[in-house]
């Protein structure tokens, strides 16, 4: 990877206040607001003895991934294409795909910092235990990022910057509903839980929640994430345009 390009992309990223809020700050801020509700900190039998806030820690991590992958990144890449930056790079020693790799590395680094902030905030402020199965938690996290980044590249491939932003928003809200942003997946009706298990974010949240309490995720959820990752990247590779 071109290290000069990577440093440049990092500097550009941290000049964008909206991107910083989405990638680093929004999920911790929402967790603080939810954690301030006393009933959310109480263990509930219908949640398997967990508190609402414990379930929302993985949900906030998934939300950060979704916002960056289908809102921030597609818009940025679409702008690069519309402004001819990718085309101009083809006339230099820097390959266009180096810019994609640099963008992915920057977005992943920011997401990782934001996710660690959510985990530590939940632990320190609200007594939410750190993941009991860290290996499974890390595996699911990487699969979620891979699947959503692939979907983000597909969005950037088929639309301009404004359209990508609109499509990203339209995709974000239903995906986050099935990820339990408004109603925890554990208390959804059975039909909605089934649908959730076959969406990338729903499967990801449920798998992270299992990992958080020390279990290995269900094979169904791992398989769903693998299928979404494969389909998204096959689509992105076939559809992505440099100009």
pLDDT at residue 16 is higher than 60: yes
pLDDT at residue 148 is higher than 90: yes
pLDDT at residue 53 is higher than 90: yes
% of the chain at pLDDT higher than 70: 92
CB 13 within 8 A of CB 19: yes
* Mean pLDDT across the chain: 87
Range of the domain at 22: 3-239
Q: How buried is residue 37: exposed, middle or buried, by Cβ count under 10 Å (0-12/13-18/19+)?
A: exposed
The model's pLDDT over 84-142, given as tens digits with 9 standing for 90+, comes to 776 776 667 766 677 777 888 888 988 899 899 999 999 999 999 999 999 999 999 99
The total domain count for the chain is 1
pTM for this prediction: 0.89
The model's pLDDT over 188-234, given as tens digits with 9 standing for 90+, comes to 999 999 999 999 999 999 999 999 999 999 999 999 999 999 998 88
Residue 44: its H or E element: strand 43-44
CA separation for the pair 189, 97 (Å, rounded): 44
Contacts of 231-237 with C-beta under 8 Å, sequence gap 24+, read: 231/150, 232/147, 232/148, 232/149, 232/150, 232/151, 232/153, 232/154, 233/146, 233/150, 233/153, 235/150, 235/154, 235/157, 236/150, 236/151, 236/153, 236/154, 236/157
Residue with tokens 């910092």: 113
pLDDT at residue 81 is higher than 80: no
* Mean pLDDT of all residues in 8-31: 80
Q: What is the pLDDT of residue 160?
A: 67
pLDDT at residue 175 is higher than 90: yes
CA separation for the pair 182, 77 (Å, rounded): 30
Ramachandran angles phi, psi of 93, nearest 5°: -65, -15
pLDDT at residue 28 is higher than 60: yes
Q: What band does 80 get if pLDDT is binned at 50, 70 and 90? A: confident
% of the chain at pLDDT higher than 90: 49
Strand partners, 50: 44
- CB neighbour burial string for 40-57, b if at least 16 within 10 angstroms, e if fewer: bbeebeebeebbbbbbbb
The answer to which of 22-31, 157-166, 200-209 has the lowest mean pLDDT is 157-166
CA separation for the pair 23, 107 (Å, rounded): 8
């Amino acid at each position: 990877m071109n290290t000069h390009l990577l440093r440049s992309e990092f500097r550009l990223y941290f000049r964008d206040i909206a991107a910083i809020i989405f990638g680093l700050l929004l999920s911790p801020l929402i967790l603080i607001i939810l954690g301030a509700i006393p009933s959310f900190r109480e263990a509930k039998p219908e949640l398997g003895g967990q508190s609402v806030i414990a379930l929302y820690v993985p949900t906030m991590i998934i939300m950060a991934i979704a916002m960056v992958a289908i809102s921030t990144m597609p818009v940025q890449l679409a702008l690069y294409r519309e402004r001819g930056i990718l085309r101009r790079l083809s006339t230099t020693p820097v390959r266009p795909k180096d810019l994609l790799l640099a963008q992915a590395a920057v977005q992943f680094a920011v997401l990782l910092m934001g996710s660690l902030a959510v985990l530590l905030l939940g632990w320190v402020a609200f007594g939410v235990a750190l993941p009991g199965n860290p290996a499974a938690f890390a595996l699911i996290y990487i699969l979620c990022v891979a699947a959503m980044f692939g979907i983000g590249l597909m969005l950037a491939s088929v639309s301009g910057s404004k359209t990508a932003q609109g499509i990203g928003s339209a995709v974000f809200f239903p995906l986050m509903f099935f990820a339990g942003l408004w109603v925890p997946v554990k208390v959804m009706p059975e039909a909605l839980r089934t649908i959730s298990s076959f969406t990338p974010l729903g499967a990801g949240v449920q798998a992270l929640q299992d990992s958080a309490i020390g279990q290995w995720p269900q094979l169904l959820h791992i398989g769903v994430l693998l299928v979404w990752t494969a389909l998204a990247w096959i689509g992105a590779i076939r559809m992505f345009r440099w100009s």
